Structure 1
Amino acid sequence: MLIQNQVQDIITATGTMRTNVYRPLDDKQYPTIIFYSEIFQETTPITRSAQILAGHGFVVLVPEVFHELNPIGTVLAYDDAGKDKGNADKFTKPLEDHDSDTLAMTDFVTAQTYSNGKVGAMGVCIGGHLAFRAALNENIGAAFCLYPTDIHSNTLPCAQGNDSLSMSKHISCPLTLIFGKQDPHVSPEGRVLIHQTLSKNENDFSWHEVNAQHAFMRDEGERYDAALALQMYKMSIDFFQQHLRS
């Protein structure tokens, strides 16, 4: 399926958020996936992931997740300086501001003629956490979370009691969570805590642990696992086809 790309500046409660929109090259209506990036914002691997999803019949929104903290168009490098800046941004922006970003994106996309009105969330690393967090929004119909960080540790800034794991009891849409067993960012104990909490909540969730390192989806660097990445793309596309097209 051929796709097109447009740049959209979405007005949020905390400022203008540059968002790339990838979608099929026709006038039909499609479901939407909000694709949340790593701390580095929209790098070329993130763009390629968004294009893959769009090419399977989805509108894909890729927001600049730290738009308040950087000039529009900022992309951080996969180096120590980029990692340090991205982590500083991660620990500066409150979860509540990510919530208002999600609301702005769902309001924007569901008003477009190319939207079928259904929206899902997907992400990698902190983006996996933000996809999980987005599921608190009643307009999100499904969330696919790849190696989400900081859920188990409650290390992202937020109001007391408003952390994502505590709030997960309010998630009603289906979730899929994927973790790498060799991922140092989410310990075995952390994974157990998340699983036990979601089970106690009686959340609708699927759980997968694979033999992979953190960032195994990123097609740059030595941690990339191409076979697993293809499996995850297929799994996510099937997941969203099931929950956003009916």
Structure 2
Amino acid sequence: MLIVESHVDVNTVVDGKDSPMRIFVFTPTVPQYPNARFPGVVLFSEIYQVTGPVARFARQIAGHGYVVAAPSSYHEFTGPEPLAYDVPGTDKGNEWKVAKTLDSYDQDVIKTVDYLLTHPNCNGRIGSTGMCLGGHLALRAGLDTRISAIVSYFATDVHSRTLGPHPANNSPTPPPSSPHTLDNLSRISAEVAMLFGLKDTHVPDAGRDLIRLKLREAGVVNSFHEFAWAQHAFIRDELSKGRYDPVITKVCFEILLELFGRVLKTEVGERDAQPQKVEHVC
């Protein structure tokens, strides 16, 4: 499937401050069918904004029949250009990810979904995905009930409550009326697939175990995948510091296609809220 690439600038307002946000758009096309319609996917980037690897990931998704919208997360601090995969770029990305408020991250979701719902080739069904910071944002995007399928790659700062300048960062217990993603999972109605490497030093064993436990306690329909030899950033095919694993990346993409294809492309109607009865048979 061919792809048309474009961008749109939308205005966000948080705490009375206006900030233009660029959304990079990747639209599949079918020759001679200009009105073809596809599900939408919000793609959140790692701390470096929309880099080459993120754009290639977007094209891969779009090529399977999804309108992909990738917002520039740091629009309050800088332009839409990506940060470099070097020490200064890493330091800036890590600084901004905790300086940006959760309200602002949530506003980005609202504005990006709003845009997709106006896109002439989007059929109104929306999923989210992303890696690293973007993996967290893809999961948090589920707080917007218009998101119905989520594929999160090695989501950082979920288990530690360390995204945004809020109380209880790194606390084992939530603060009162906690805004943190970990403490609001019960608000997610989307089906979720979480993807992690067992060698990920950013999300250690205890952190992954906590996320899995909280998803189950919240009643979120989810699948949880852990790959024995994968490290952090295992899908990044550029400057991954030796961590890129193309075979595991392919397996994970098949997981994404299965979930998005089943939930976003198939007409199944509303989900029955009654617990499924599973027979215990051999």
TM-based fold match above 0.5: yes
CA RMSD between the two structures: 1.1
1:209 to partner: Cα distance: 0.4
Aligned length: 245
Q: Deviations over 1:75-129 (max 9, x none)?
A: 1111111100000011100111111111011111112211100110000000000
Query: Which residue is equivalent to 1:206?
Result: 223
Give the C-alpha shift of residue 11 in structure 1: 1.8
1:203-235 Cα distance to aligned partner (Å, 9 max, x none): 111100002000000001311000011111121
Amino acid at match of 2:8: Q
Aligned to 2:196: 179
- Output the CA distance in 2 between the equivalents of 1:218 and 1:156: 22
Write out per-residue CA displacement over residues 45-77 of structure 1, whole angstroms, 9 at most, x where no aligned residue: 111000000000000011101111112x32111
Q: What does residue 57 of structure 1 align with?
A: 65
Q: Distance between the aligned counterparts of 1:31 and 1:55, measured in 2? A: 12
The equivalent residue for 1:245 is 265
How does 1:218-229 map onto structure 2 within 5 Å? 218-220=236-238, 221=240, 222-229=242-249
3-state DSSP of counterpart to 1:230: helix
In 2, the alpha carbon distance for the partners of 1:3 and 1:75 equals: 21
1:177 alignment partner, SS class: strand
TM-score, normalised by the number of residues in structure 1: 0.97
Question: What are the equivalent positions in structure 2 for 1:37-56 lying under 5 Å apart?
Answer: 37-56=45-64
Which of the numbers 124, 127, 143 marks the counterpart of 1:120? 127
Question: What aligned pairs does 1:65-104 form with structure 2 within 5 A after superposition?
Answer: 65-71=73-79, 73-104=80-111
Find the counterpart in structure 1 of residue 181 from structure 2: 164
Tell me the equivalent position of 1:192: 209
Contact 1:13-1:101 at 8 Å conserved across structures: no
Q: Distance in 2 between matches of 1:239 and 1:62?
A: 19
Runs of 4+ in 1 over 4 A off after TM superposition: none
Identical columns (%): 38
Q: What amino acid does structure 1 have at the position aligned with 2:140?
A: R
Partners of 1:127 and 1:112 in 2: how far apart? 22
The separation in 2 between residues aligned to 1:106 and 1:50, in whole angstroms, is 16
Write the distance in 1 (CA, Å) between the matches of 2:182 and 2:37: 34
Structure with more of its chain in helix, by fraction: 1
The CA deviation at 1:25 is 2.0
Q: Higher relative contact order by CA 8 Å / sep ≥ 6: 1 or 2?
A: 1
Larger Rg: 2
Q: Name the amino acid aligned to 2:205.
A: P
TM-score, normalization by structure 2: 0.85
Report the AA paired with residue 11 of structure 1.
N
One-letter amino acid of the counterpart of residue 95, structure 1:
L
SS at match of 2:40: strand
Q: For each residue in 1:15-62, what CA deviation from the matched residue of structure 2 results, as whole angstroms up to 9, or x when unmatched?
A: 211111001124211001100000000110111000000000000011
